[in-house]
Structure 1
Amino acid sequence: MNDNLSHKENETDGNLAQDSAESNQSETEVLETKPLAEPIDVPAEDNVVIPSAEELPAADAASESDNQTALNAIADTNAEESEDETLKDRHDIPMQDYDTLTLESLVDELKNLVSNEKVLSAKEHIEEIKKSFLAKYTHLLEEKKEEFLAENQDPNEEFQYHSPLKSNFDKYYSIFRDAKNTHFKSLQTNLKTNLENRLAIVEELKELINPQENIKDTLKHFNDLRERWKNAGPIPKDKYNHVWNNFHFHVENFYDYLHLDREARDLDFKHNLEQKQKIILRVEELVNEADVNKAFRELQDLHRIWKEDIGPVSREHRDEIWNKFSDLTKKMHDKREVLFEKLRGTEAENLEKKKEIISKIEVLATEKVNAHSQWLAQIEKVEALRTAFFSAGKVPSDVNEETWNSFKTAVRNFNTFKNAFYKDIKKDQNDNLSKKTALVAKAKELQESLDFDATTPIMKQIQEEWKQIGHVPRKYSDKIWKDFKDACNHYFEKLKEQKNEENVEEVQAFNSKKAYLETLREYQLTGDHKTDLDAIKLHIETWKGFGKVPFPRRHIEGKFNKILDALFEKLSLSKKDTEMLRFSNRMDHLSESNDTRKLDNEKIFLMRKIEEVKNEIFQLENNIQFFTNTRNAKKENSIVLEVRKNIALHKETLDVWKEKLKQIRNLKQE
């Protein structure tokens, strides 16, 4: 770095921390360069640059070599910022570990940066977001494609996947890209012109050394050139150091040519020394700054001020002050390297975490399970490991791609293993699809039927069969269920309409039965057995002729049966005849109401009662055998007679149960 650069003729603001909120007014005032009262003489032998490492003594060369890395890092950054002056106005945005964010969070971060930050301030962050987003989205796309191929056997069906997240990402990144391209296009247009203008200014400086010209005109021309230089604008960064040094070399040559007052020059040297000493004091403070990145950023600004805004110092202080500055720069660089080393250590820990996660996924890709519920548990484990992988943080850049590929391979192997299981059950799902398709066809065939008595049980049976059939392929599930549900609902809506029509008739039947019941309460038997029995049977037939009543009003049937019971009691019929008449009346009622469930229950009840009576008769007959086979039994005693009487009653009861069962069977056959 050239330490013998002339200060600017005009007053310059040399703020110690151009980007730092902590800089204060006193420091700014200290670094303001002293205005020239008159040009100063800079002898030709003072126009030197810092010697290279090869030109220094051995010890000094080693020291220079140690410092050179830090100096180069700052020089490169300042050269870049000189090319694009808008870089000086950018502010530091904390760099997040974008690999740990979800796709949704990455899009939100991109939107925030594009909407609220300058292009160059956000450029590095947006490129990191893009890298993380595309890596994760590509991985997601691969998984969706594998799932599609596992579920679809049709070779003519192409895989398609659309994500609103990707659309939003593309929208915001396009806004950023257009803004960036516009900025750099404008910049490139100006750089070439500015470079040509600055080189032309240097050429004019060379021509100023002309003894034939009036000194006042020469000085006026010189000051005009410096003003033009100041306003010439940015130039390409690869030309920056060369052009600046060339310009200052000819400025100093001009001072030397004018043979200016050495006392004035020494005063200027002293002023420049004080400014550079203040910079050194500030750098000593920066070495102890907790925020290393912020301190390093300010150090870059101080290097720019040292080079561009402050002129040379006397030869006796030149090496000493420059060495102090470069040594402090190395300390700051070393401190920054310690921070980077710590980050690299954290990245190494993250790498081990990610390797462990990958190993766990690889194990899950070999654990065979045979049930859907178990696979759901496995999938949940992999999702948790996936989240842990993305949350683990950055790994060393040289193994980042390898680690990412290992993770993708492990997840892909798990998905392949999982899909193999679901391919096996795919056949079952296709069989289920065929069964449900057949049920849909049957339901559609019956949905217009008006034979409700015959069709309703069939439709209910179809619904029961549907429940027993397992899953169908997901792509058909919603449609086939809708078709089936629509057909069933259509039929049962028609059934409901028909029942609503029947309800009018049932209400009329209830009203008729209610009125008839009042008449029947006043009925008196004539005393003639046959006449009264025929009259009761006629009442029963008349009652049946009214038809069914609404379900909530069926209590009227009980009232009718009570009146019949009273009439049967007065008829003095046999117990069997009375029982059978009552039973026949009740069964006719169940038959008319089409209550097959109650008829079936009655049939089961009768069969059970018949079996019970048979067992009791068998037991009683065994008991008779015991008494009649004794040696001393000359005649049947009272116990035997009681048992025989009991057997006869049971047989009579048995005949009644059998007759009732016969009636039910005849009803069901009808």
Structure 2
Amino acid sequence: MLEEKNDNLLEADGSAATNLPEIIQAETEVLEKLDVVETSNETIAEQVEEVAATVTDGESSSNNTIIDAIVDTNAEESEDETLKERHDIPMLDYEAMSLESLVDELKKLVTNEKVMSVKDHIEEIKKSFLAKYYHLLEEKKEEFLVENTDTNEEFQYHSPLKTQFDQYYTLYRDNKNTHFKSLQTNLKTNLENRLAIVEELKELINPQENIKDTLKHFNDLRERWKTAGPIPKDKYNHVWNNYHFHVENFYDYLHLDREARDLDFKHNLEQKQKIVARVEELINEADVNKAFRELQDLHKIWKEDIGPVSREHRDEIWNKFSDLTKQMHDKREVLFENMRGTELENLEKKKEIIAKIEVLATEKVNAHSQWLQQIEKVEALRTAFFSAGKVPSEVNEETWAAFKTAVRNFNSFKNSFYKDIKKDQNNNLNRKTALVAKAKELQESTDFAATTPIMKQIQEEWKQIGHVPRKYSDKIWAEFKEACNHYFDKLKEQKNEENSEEIEAFDKKKAYLETLREFQLTGEHKTDLDAIKAHIETWKSFGKVPFPRRHIEGKFNKVLDALFEKLSLSKKDGEMMRFANRIDSLSENNDSRKLENEKIFLMRKIDEIKNEIFQLENNIQFFTNTRNAKKENSIVLEVRKNIEKHREEMEILKDKLKQIRNLGQA
């Protein structure tokens, strides 16, 4: 009963004009049973006229459709007052939202709002979510079929978002059922109370009762009626009509003071004039939807809270109210037309997006990287489609179907490419499987010098091999990684053992360096030179030190440099001894990179000096070939000294280079 549409709502002001004769006849029969209806034709005619006035209140039939729509909404909201709140909750563009956003919005509405106030919102969310989810499901299934063409495995897809959506929607549905059960009970009770009030109204017509007591009882009944609560909407019109009829009947057949009734009519007229004045203000309200919503409330007040006016004002006041209602309706229709214009613009945007996707579904590309770019384009177009806004409702399904078809065609076109490269992925799987086997074979090797380059080469080969089928990717990578890690962990352990020896060498060199600082030359050239050479040999005997602590070699070289400075060695001899010590240190630490860099540096330096000597010799020729040059001047002499200095430096560099080359041959 709660979900049925009410087909018998009043047209306006408590009326049901379309069935007026039948209503009058039925109510007249009720009065006859109470034995209070006068039998004269004139009195019956007056009753017919009075009931007609009560039912129609001067309603004009020209606006029936508009009034019916308003009364229909008011009847529904009278049954469940929480429906009023739905107008205060904005209806968002759910079609433009992502699945994540839709779930978040559903959660917010279900947990924070009354269940019936968000009924329309949640149904729109459900419609948008399921449409997008099932579209996503189709795409995932197509991808699965591409990846699993050779197996009988059934397609399965689990989405946490779908689970969350089902959870919140189930909560909403349970809340709605609970609400309906409670509402059903209340509506039934309220209906019984209102019918009982009507029955008591009938019993008021008793000439034997004191008029003051009767009036007090009458006012009590009106107060009880106001607080009786909502009733089923399919009983709404009949009950309200019945109540109004017997209220009017009470006035008429007890022959109350006409002056009191006229005052009541006057009060009602003033109230209805205030409503008319308010509607005139609403005509100029900027927020048309808000104004129309208030208009609906004013219609309800007009019908439920305000009684009739005198016959002479009924048509005039009602027609004015009805005409203003039509003006508001027309203004709202203009707004809807503007919205429709926007929707048509959105439709054109979506058609353009669909057309672009259709083009992408025909552009053939032959590389995975290019397909990634195509996929990004389609994803961007998908986002633009959902963000484009609403389209006219009559083409919504058609537009959505065209979009799904375009995306599906693109996915099919894309999947055909990946089907073609499935063979390559299987070949890659075979190659990686072979590398896994090789890595497992070598993972226990202790010949680190020979095995380490091979393991590194295996890792490089792995990087060069392309993708394998997705369902094997994680498994084969885990096996390969485990084998490689196993070997290199053993290599690290071995290096850690070697490092203990290097640390011991460092400690010895550090202690020896302190004693060397105290060393003093005797003044005997040969004795002192042999002593320095002995120190160098002792230092070498300690062995390599850990890489992070090689700075100690620099400290040792500085001590040697200071000792060489005190010896009466030639510049060349001192330079060569220092160089030899440094090269020996690099050689012992197997630092081939630094040795190679040193070699390149010496070769470049020798070339630079050769060029400088050549340039200086050209300059001398210029000065000595001039006509007036009887002898070499000071500039020429300075240049010759400079040339000689460069030649000495070049000889030292050549000896250093020869020493490095001899080290490589050894």
Short-chain TM bin: 0.5 to 0.7
TM-aligned CA deviation for residue 426 of structure 1: 1.5
Whether 1:372 aligns to 2:372 is no
Amino acid aligned to 1:488: C
2:190 is aligned to 194
Whether 1:77 aligns to 2:73 is yes
Whether 1:402 aligns to 2:405 is no
SS across alignment from 1:158: coil
- Stretch deviating more after TM superposition (141-150 or 431-440): 141-150
Seen in structure 2, the aligned counterparts of structure 1 residues 312 and 503 have a Cα distance that, compared at 3 Å, is closer
2:250 is aligned to 254
Seen in structure 2, the aligned counterparts of structure 1 residues 221 and 51 have a Cα distance that, compared at 3 Å, is closer
Whether 1:244 aligns to 2:240 is yes
Seen in structure 2, the aligned counterparts of structure 1 residues 446 and 3 have a Cα distance that, compared at 3 Å, is closer
TM-aligned CA deviation for residue 43 of structure 1: 6.5
TM-aligned CA deviation for residue 505 of structure 1: 7.8
SS across alignment from 1:235: coil
TM-aligned CA deviation for residue 205 of structure 1: 3.2
TM-aligned CA deviation for residue 388 of structure 1: 0.6
After superposition, residues 653-664 of structure 1 pair within 5 angstroms as none
Whether 1:135 aligns to 2:137 is no
If the length of structure 2 is used for normalisation, what is the TM-score? Answer: 0.67
Instruction: Tell me, yes or no, if the aligned pair for 1:344 and 1:396 is still in contact at 8 Å.
Output: yes
Distance between the aligned counterparts of 2:470 and 2:132, measured in 1? 26
Instruction: Tell me, yes or no, if the aligned pair for 2:445 and 2:451 is still in contact at 8 Å.
Output: yes
Distance between the aligned counterparts of 1:341 and 1:482, measured in 2? 62
After superposition, residues 560-579 of structure 1 pair within 5 angstroms as none
Seen in structure 2, the aligned counterparts of structure 1 residues 452 and 242 have a Cα distance that, compared at 3 Å, is same
Seen in structure 2, the aligned counterparts of structure 1 residues 483 and 204 have a Cα distance that, compared at 3 Å, is same
2:298 is aligned to 302
Distance between the aligned counterparts of 1:105 and 1:153, measured in 2? 35
Distance between the aligned counterparts of 2:292 and 2:502, measured in 1? 96
Which of 42, 47, 51 aligns to 1:44? It is: 47
For residues 587-607 of structure 1, give each alpha carbon's deviation from its aligned partner in whole angstroms, at most 9, with x where no partner exists.
xxx9xx9x9xx9xxxxxxxxx
Amino acid aligned to 1:48: V
Instruction: Tell me, yes or no, if the aligned pair for 1:347 and 1:395 is still in contact at 8 Å.
Output: yes
2:427 is aligned to 431
Seen in structure 2, the aligned counterparts of structure 1 residues 396 and 215 have a Cα distance that, compared at 3 Å, is same
After superposition, residues 23-38 of structure 1 pair within 5 angstroms as none
Seen in structure 2, the aligned counterparts of structure 1 residues 548 and 444 have a Cα distance that, compared at 3 Å, is farther
Instruction: Tell me, yes or no, if the aligned pair for 2:55 and 2:241 is still in contact at 8 Å.
Output: no
Whether 1:121 aligns to 2:117 is yes
Amino acid aligned to 1:253: N
Whether 1:414 aligns to 2:371 is no
For residues 560-597 of structure 1, give each alpha carbon's deviation from its aligned partner in whole angstroms, at most 9, with x where no partner exists.
xxxxxxxxxxxxxxxxxxxxxxxxxxxxxx9xx9x9xx
Whether 1:287 aligns to 2:290 is no
SS across alignment from 2:52: coil
For residues 364-420 of structure 1, give each alpha carbon's deviation from its aligned partner in whole angstroms, at most 9, with x where no partner exists.
111111011111111111011101100011111121112111111111111111011
Distance between the aligned counterparts of 1:388 and 1:171, measured in 2? 29
CA RMSD in angstroms, aligned pairs only: 4.4
2:99 is aligned to 103
Distance between the aligned counterparts of 1:469 and 1:2, measured in 2? 78
Instruction: Tell me, yes or no, if the aligned pair for 1:5 and 1:310 is still in contact at 8 Å.
Output: no
Between the aligned residues of both structures, percent identity stands at 80
Seen in structure 2, the aligned counterparts of structure 1 residues 472 and 548 have a Cα distance that, compared at 3 Å, is farther
TM-aligned CA deviation for residue 164 of structure 1: 2.9
Distance between the aligned counterparts of 1:142 and 1:251, measured in 2? 64
Amino acid aligned to 1:363: V
Seen in structure 2, the aligned counterparts of structure 1 residues 269 and 449 have a Cα distance that, compared at 3 Å, is same
Distance between the aligned counterparts of 1:506 and 1:112, measured in 2? 66
TM-aligned CA deviation for residue 472 of structure 1: 1.6
TM-aligned CA deviation for residue 347 of structure 1: 1.2
2:346 is aligned to 350
Seen in structure 2, the aligned counterparts of structure 1 residues 484 and 222 have a Cα distance that, compared at 3 Å, is same
Seen in structure 2, the aligned counterparts of structure 1 residues 242 and 507 have a Cα distance that, compared at 3 Å, is closer
After superposition, residues 253-652 of structure 1 pair within 5 angstroms as 253-499=249-495, 501=497
Seen in structure 2, the aligned counterparts of structure 1 residues 258 and 491 have a Cα distance that, compared at 3 Å, is same
SS across alignment from 1:49: helix
Seen in structure 2, the aligned counterparts of structure 1 residues 494 and 269 have a Cα distance that, compared at 3 Å, is closer
After superposition, residues 152-191 of structure 1 pair within 5 angstroms as 152-153=148-149, 155-191=151-187
SS across alignment from 1:162: coil
Amino acid aligned to 1:73: A
Distance between the aligned counterparts of 2:90 and 2:179, measured in 1? 23
Amino acid aligned to 2:300: R
1:632 is aligned to none
Instruction: Tell me, yes or no, if the aligned pair for 1:4 and 1:48 is still in contact at 8 Å.
Output: no
Distance between the aligned counterparts of 1:333 and 1:363, measured in 2? 45
Gaps of 5+ in 2: 1-9, 16-44, 513-525, 528-540, 554-586, 596-664
TM-aligned CA deviation for residue 262 of structure 1: 1.8
For residues 329-354 of structure 1, give each alpha carbon's deviation from its aligned partner in whole angstroms, at most 9, with x where no partner exists.
11111111111121122111111111
Distance between the aligned counterparts of 2:280 and 2:260, measured in 1? 31
Distance between the aligned counterparts of 2:409 and 2:93, measured in 1? 27
Amino acid aligned to 1:242: H
Amino acid aligned to 1:138: Y
Distance between the aligned counterparts of 2:366 and 2:14, measured in 1? 80
Distance between the aligned counterparts of 1:354 and 1:177, measured in 2? 34
For residues 416-461 of structure 1, give each alpha carbon's deviation from its aligned partner in whole angstroms, at most 9, with x where no partner exists.
1101111111211111111111111111111112233443443333
Amino acid aligned to 1:117: E
Distance between the aligned counterparts of 1:391 and 1:52, measured in 2? 50
Which of 198, 202, 207 aligns to 1:206? It is: 202
Seen in structure 2, the aligned counterparts of structure 1 residues 353 and 507 have a Cα distance that, compared at 3 Å, is closer
If the length of structure 1 is used for normalisation, what is the TM-score? Answer: 0.67
SS across alignment from 2:421: helix
Amino acid aligned to 2:66: A
Seen in structure 2, the aligned counterparts of structure 1 residues 432 and 314 have a Cα distance that, compared at 3 Å, is same
Instruction: Tell me, yes or no, if the aligned pair for 1:4 and 1:46 is still in contact at 8 Å.
Output: no
Seen in structure 2, the aligned counterparts of structure 1 residues 506 and 325 have a Cα distance that, compared at 3 Å, is closer
For residues 283-315 of structure 1, give each alpha carbon's deviation from its aligned partner in whole angstroms, at most 9, with x where no partner exists.
111111111111111111111111122121111
Which of 127, 146, 151 aligns to 1:150? It is: 146
Distance between the aligned counterparts of 1:484 and 1:551, measured in 2? 31
Instruction: Tell me, yes or no, if the aligned pair for 2:54 and 2:308 is still in contact at 8 Å.
Output: no
Amino acid aligned to 2:51: V
Amino acid aligned to 1:68: N
Seen in structure 2, the aligned counterparts of structure 1 residues 381 and 65 have a Cα distance that, compared at 3 Å, is farther
For residues 114-141 of structure 1, give each alpha carbon's deviation from its aligned partner in whole angstroms, at most 9, with x where no partner exists.
3332223222222212221221122122
2:568 is aligned to none
1:529 is aligned to none
Higher relative contact order (CA 8 A, sep 6+): 1
Distance between the aligned counterparts of 1:82 and 1:51, measured in 2? 21
Instruction: Tell me, yes or no, if the aligned pair for 2:94 and 2:128 is still in contact at 8 Å.
Output: yes
SS across alignment from 1:47: helix
1:518 is aligned to none
- Stretch deviating more after TM superposition (240-249 or 478-487): 478-487
1:18 is aligned to none
Seen in structure 2, the aligned counterparts of structure 1 residues 412 and 50 have a Cα distance that, compared at 3 Å, is farther
**How many residue pairs get matched?**
512
